[in-house]
Amino acid sequence: MHDAQKTDSLQDPAKLARPASPAGFAPRYTANVTNNVTKRILIVDDERTVVEMLTEFFKQFQHGHAYEVAVARDGADATIVLLRGKYDLIVLDMHMPRMSGLELLRQIRGLGVKVPVIMITGNQDVRAAAEALSGGVFAYVPKPFDFKHLDHLVALALETSQPAAGDKPAS
């Protein structure tokens, strides 16, 4: 494989996914927005391609309401974003510069924020997974993503959570 091909496959979000990319993702529920509530999602990840892929995923993902996606590049930035607003779900990478996902998770819980957290990681460290689960994450999802599984987890997390104080009708 040529170096250019290696670089392209690392930067192409579609090649990170299995079995389908976000463009090929078929949401479980395809109904139009019906309840006029916007669900606020915070994606915290330092990898641009992962952020783009997840943002596209939430554009296609409906479950009867709209999604508003905010992004933070690491735990330190996420702390500032969380202090400025309320979210219905956090999708959090475990390994990031400045502040890891586990450190941010401890900080979130220390602030009394009870929003569901889906922890994502490219690392298969069983001890870290156990720490994340004992720290109160809703789910632990390895990279590359299975979008059907992620779809199901997001739906369950939002179904079981309290609405964010910032919920407002979709425009």
- For each successive 10 residues of the chain (171 residues), what is the average pLDDT? 38 40 40 64 95 90 83 92 93 90 90 91 78 85 86 90 49 38
What pLDDT is attached to residue 119? 93
What pLDDT is attached to residue 15? 41
CA distance 94 to 86: 21
Q: Are the beta carbons of 57 and 75 closer than 8 angstroms?
A: no
For residue 32, being part of any structural domain is answered with: no
CATH number at residue 136: 3.40.50.2300
CB atoms within 10 A of CB 47: 20
For residue 101, being part of any structural domain is answered with: yes
Tell which residue, 34, 118, 104, has the closest CA to residue 76: 104
What pLDDT is attached to residue 145? 82
Two structure tokens written together for 102: 């586990």
Element (H, E) at 129: helix 126-134
Residue type, 57: F
What pLDDT is attached to residue 97? 87
What pLDDT is attached to residue 17? 41
For residue 86, being part of any structural domain is answered with: yes
What pLDDT is attached to residue 2? 42
For residue 21, being part of any structural domain is answered with: no
Longest dimension (CA), the chain: 51
Secondary structure class of 164 (helix, strand, coil): coil
CA distance 37 to 11: 34
Q: Hey, which residues does 38 pair with through a beta bridge? A: 66
Total structural domains in the chain? 1
For residue 81, being part of any structural domain is answered with: yes
Can you give the length of the chain in residues? 171
For residue 115, being part of any structural domain is answered with: yes
For residue 167, being part of any structural domain is answered with: no
DSSP H helical ranges for the chain = 3-11, 48-60, 75-84, 101-110, 126-134, 147-160
What pLDDT is attached to residue 98? 86
For residue 27, being part of any structural domain is answered with: no
Residue type, 13: P
Q: Are the beta carbons of 75 and 103 closer than 8 angstroms?
A: yes
- The residue behind tokens 């490219």 is 122
- The residue behind tokens 């905010």 is 70
Domain hosting residue 155, numbered range: 41-160
